[in-house]
Chains A and B, each alone.
Chain A
Amino acid sequence: MTIADLSSMLFDRVRDLSALCTRVGELSDEGIPFVLLAGGTDWMVEQEMREPLASDVFPTVIDVSQMGELRGIRLDGDILRIGAATRYLEMRRHPAVLERAPLLERMARDVGAIQIQARGTLGGNIATGSPAADGVAALAAFDALVVVKSRRGERHIPLSELQTGYKTSTRAPDEIIVAIEIYLPSRNATWFWRKVGTRKAQAISKVALAAIAEVQGGQVVRCGLGMASVAPVTALLPRTRELFLSTRLDAIDDFMIDKCVESDIQPITDVRSTGPYRLHVAKAVVREFARSLGAA
């Protein structure tokens, strides 16, 4: 419940990624709490909402928003690499994103509003670990890899292995998110984005679906799904995905989709929406995706 604590925190910047890894490692060794500050659009809200801190537990805040090695978008063959501190607005404008991963552009357009897009990053979206994260849902559809680094070295975590529960993760606390790597689908792949929020902008998702599919001769050969706000983690809808990959499109009907979605998720009622409504909408948007592929 206090922004008043901000004045007591130590704000810091480091030279480069390796210095950052060292610094974070040292802080971990000494048991000093720390945060990496990217856009600050999640972290600042958390500061405002929590109880004031006892004076001995102030975190060290390290600003990574300007760190070159965490920023920028690069296309390398069919691999798209997006730095963790790249902002939504940069994604919305980047030619490689617009041409090869328009789903990301479309998703970014629906995050908050322009002010948030000008600061917010995928690294922050992933690290916060909210099941409502739009960015993570989109990355899930691509089966993205999360590149993390620490003193111990670099590793790639498949998005499907990242989240273990509500805001818990396989990423170690001292592992910095460096980038996201996406193995792009073919140029004629179908993509789908539908965010059902509390209003048209500045809205947290009640349900959001990101999906991509490559279809060959009436059969889906690559498919990825990511759904926000229907489970404690970003929902990957494994049974639904299996349906798409195992059944010819002309044999997939609404009933089959509904059954799969029902077995994939049991959404809850919270302050934003109700469980039954979420389930209803989840089925509706998956059906819409299926129709866009030409399902029955």
Chain B
Amino acid sequence: MTAPNEKEPKSAGVVGKSISRSDGVAKVLGTARYVDDLPALPGEIHGATVRSPVPRGRIRSVRFDPSFDWSDVIVVQASDVPVNVVALIADDQPVLAAKQVNHAYEPIVLLACADRRKLTLAKLAVHLDIEPLVPVLDVATALEGSNVVWTAPAGFGEPNTNVVKRYVLTKGEVDVDAELARCAHVLSGAYSTHHQEQLYIEPQGVLSWWDDDGVHLVGSMQCPFYVHKALVKAFALEPHQVDVAQAVTGGGFGGKEEYPSILAIHAALLSRKSGRPVRMIYDRTEDIEATTKRHPCLCEITTGCDADGTLRVLKMRVVMDAGAYVTLTPVVLSRGLLHAAGTYRWPNVFMEAIAVATNTPPNGAFRGFGAPQTIWAIERHMDALAAYLGTDPMVLKRKNVLVEGDTTATGQLLRTSVSSLECLDKGSSASRYVERRAEIEKENRRRAQRGERKRLGIGASIFMHGAGFTGSGERVLQGKAAVDLLPGGRLRIRTASTDIGQGTETVFRQIASDACGVAVEDIDFAVPSTKVVPNSGPTVASRTVMVVGSVVEACAREIGDRVKTEQVEQGGTFAEAADRLLVKEGSVTALHQYEPPPFVHWDDEAYKGDAYPCFAWMCDVAEVEVDLDTFETDVKKLYLIGDVGKAIHPTMCKGQLEGGSLQAMGWALFEEVVWKDGLIQNPRMTNYIIPTALDAPVFDTTLVECPFPYGPGGGAKGIGELPMDGGAPAIAAAVEHATGIAVHHLPLTPERLFEASLGRLSPTSTFHPAA
């Protein structure tokens, strides 16, 4: 890791320019090959999954219809799995259910057949006899605990309860209740959020085959080394016997972080048993039903402040629904908790975060990773507090916002790259927040007088997102990347960071180009395959550019320096020097490992310290129009002010902020998984509603560059998840401004807004006026 003062890019280069994407042409022309487009391998057959129709039950028997011709159908059951565990954090999830099912759609039997039509008929010829057990389907019942539906694996969770994970975070005064009693104003509220489906355009899919080397797998995924680890475990193989490569991937949003592991094992099981290559591609319905979603979350908050609105105490409980198995829940819960205090200065904090198991499909990674849930809560609470104090929310937030030199709830000293105030002020000025608020109120009065039924509103949110793995995560992970010198002075980047549409390939090339002076066109990007690339860690947690990018930068700089040294010594062009070096040394490769900045210290036990090396900051201002008859919310305009450290590729950077905000808007206004008895009622794109281009607001996006000295390209920070965090509370604040209805529970669908207008879903803040 280079020190900050050496960070100036050597060439004026391409960082900071919106060059054309290196994956663009193939995707536009349709020549990019997603896993379903790969040509069939000799003898290849299709795989399918038979799943549980009930949320919880004991498997009495699996019967294969004797009148069906099974001769050319491969059948795999739990007894065929060498080690029936999906390796992740806790080993509680089976590859195939054997005796009991713990959520609807849990896989029980795998089938494969060359004839696709016959395969669909074969699924109907498998008869499951399952004795239903009483399921737990919501957080409150799970927490209450009389029906324990989850068995804690050794070392995990709290035995004989549904509690999968619990954290406690404290700061300042030990007795927060006593401290609350000393506050001028105390306010309590409860805020909840719902499931969200990632709805990447390309559903999950993999292709697997075996040969003398072991198992091979190509698929749509974010993290080849997670899949690798899962295959090693399930088949009890040596690491070198497993080869996992990413195919061109059509979106992930976290949905292809952990789920591909289980699908990969399924395909590899069928392939091993049949001796033939097996491809499994989910259709949209199966994908929505079976794969992970955003964790629903309930936050209860009590805060205390001074008479002038200075915040003193935050007391909070965060409860998340893990679903039936642990998967990534402890990490999601942790990130949720670490963002739960928002961008505010709290001298005294007591927070508890709990994840409970329910009989619903396991929830998992989704852009924001727990933070959107808790930021929704704290931002709505701050709006409620402002209403209670009779001040404008932006005034209250500005007064208490974290600035350089402050400490966060975990006691992290904010040393550098803190732009909360700048983002907030730019958000206010770009949107003309104060003037627009007054104008809108006047316009709404005019409309009311004329009997018009639409109302305008404006609202804002201010938020941050930690870049990279939480706490000691990066230190443990030791992410690596490599750059090879190729003949003719070309370079090849080798990392496990996948381009899933967000532009990794392009941005890494830009970073490498500026670090060594080689043109972007002369830099290749190796397909992320576990046989070829070092383990850079997963493509998650807003870490790709900031963490892996900085390693790529160090590698490229080393190669560049070595070639230039050769050039200085022996003359010639860069390419000639490179070729001489290759002849001399055989191969020229730089392999580096990520080193977190030296000041980053995290104490896992005490849950204190530097939660993240740095934060990206953002302010959203939403203008909405709400129809008082139909309660439809039309988001007219979204002002986005995001501090990205350094925009390596400004267009894609804006694309992340705008796309992420649109996804946040979908979560706020449209998206809702409708459940009935543990089953999903709307597993289709026609009834799981995401915004289309027509629903998208006009975006007014400003990139703020407050560099992180240790970030690549002159200070880039991670921004992939940031925009997901603040859209919902900004829109809800604007809806509140327009209608007077303060919604504390997502989503703000017209139906819910209508209910709230009748007082049936009343705001849950309760006021405790000062004594």
- Chain A residues contacting B670 (CB-CB under 8 Å) are 198-199
B630 in contact with A52 (CB, 8 Å) = no
Which of B49-57, B384-392, B532-540, B684-692 contacts its partner? B684-692
- Chain A residues contacting B124 (CB-CB under 8 Å) are 51-52
B691 in contact with A4 (CB, 8 Å) = no
A4 in contact with B692 (CB, 8 Å) = no
Contact with B along A182-221 (1 / 0, CB 8 A): 0000000000000010111111101000000000000000
Indicate if B682 sits at the interface (CB-CB under 8 A): yes
- Chain A residues contacting B629 (CB-CB under 8 Å) are 280-281, 284-285, 288
Question: From B115, which residue of chain A is reached at the shortest CB distance?
Answer: A4
Q: In whole angstroms, what is the CA distance A288 to B750 when docked?
A: 18
B117 in contact with A200 (CB, 8 Å) = no
Contact with A along B646-683 (1 / 0, CB 8 A): 00000000000000000000000010001000000110
8 Å CB contact of B630 from A4, A45, A204, A281: A281
- Beyond A271-B682, A277-B754, whether A284 also contacts B630 by CB under 8 A is yes
- Beyond A52-B117, A52-B120, A271-B682, whether A198 also contacts B630 by CB under 8 A is no
Question: From A196, which residue of chain B is reached at the shortest CB distance?
Answer: B630
A274 in contact with B751 (CB, 8 Å) = yes
- Chain A residues contacting B631 (CB-CB under 8 Å) are 277
A202 in contact with B692 (CB, 8 Å) = yes
B632 in contact with A271 (CB, 8 Å) = no
B750 in contact with A277 (CB, 8 Å) = yes
- A residues 137-182 in Cβ contact with B at 8 Å: none
A273 in contact with B751 (CB, 8 Å) = yes
Instruction: Give chain A's interface residue range (CB within 8 Å of chain B).
Output: 20 to 34
8 Å CB contact of A272 from B116, B117, B687, B754: B687
Indicate if A8 sits at the interface (CB-CB under 8 A): yes
- Chain B residues contacting A196 (CB-CB under 8 Å) are 630, 632, 750
Contact with B along A1-20 (1 / 0, CB 8 A): 11011011000000000000
8 Å CB contact of B689 from A7, A199, A274, A285: A199
Q: In whole angstroms, what is the CA distance A52 to B630 when docked?
A: 40
- Chain A residues contacting B692 (CB-CB under 8 Å) are 113, 199-202
Q: In whole angstroms, what is the CA distance A198 to B632 when docked?
A: 9
Indicate if B3 sits at the interface (CB-CB under 8 A): no
Indicate if B695 sits at the interface (CB-CB under 8 A): yes
Indicate if B121 sits at the interface (CB-CB under 8 A): yes
Indicate if A276 sits at the interface (CB-CB under 8 A): yes
Contact with B along A264-296 (1 / 0, CB 8 A): 000000011110110011001100100000000
Q: In whole angstroms, what is the CA distance A45 to B685 when docked?
A: 12
Q: In whole angstroms, what is the CA distance A280 to B754 when docked?
A: 9
Q: Give the distance to chain A from B377, nearest Cβ to Cβ, in Å.
A: 26
A271 in contact with B117 (CB, 8 Å) = no
A2 in contact with B117 (CB, 8 Å) = yes
Q: In whole angstroms, what is the CA distance A203 to B669 when docked?
A: 14
Which of B124, B629, B687, B694 gathers most chain A CB within 10 Å?
A: B629
B residues in contact (CB < 8 Å) with A: 116-117, 119-121, 124, 285, 453, 629-632, 670, 674, 681-682, 686-687, 689, 691-692, 694-695, 750-751, 754-755
Can you spell out 15 A-B residue pairs with CB atoms less than 8 angstroms apart? A45-B686, A52-B120, A196-B632, A196-B750, A198-B689, A199-B689, A199-B695, A201-B695, A204-B686, A206-B750, A271-B681, A273-B750, A276-B755, A277-B631, A277-B754
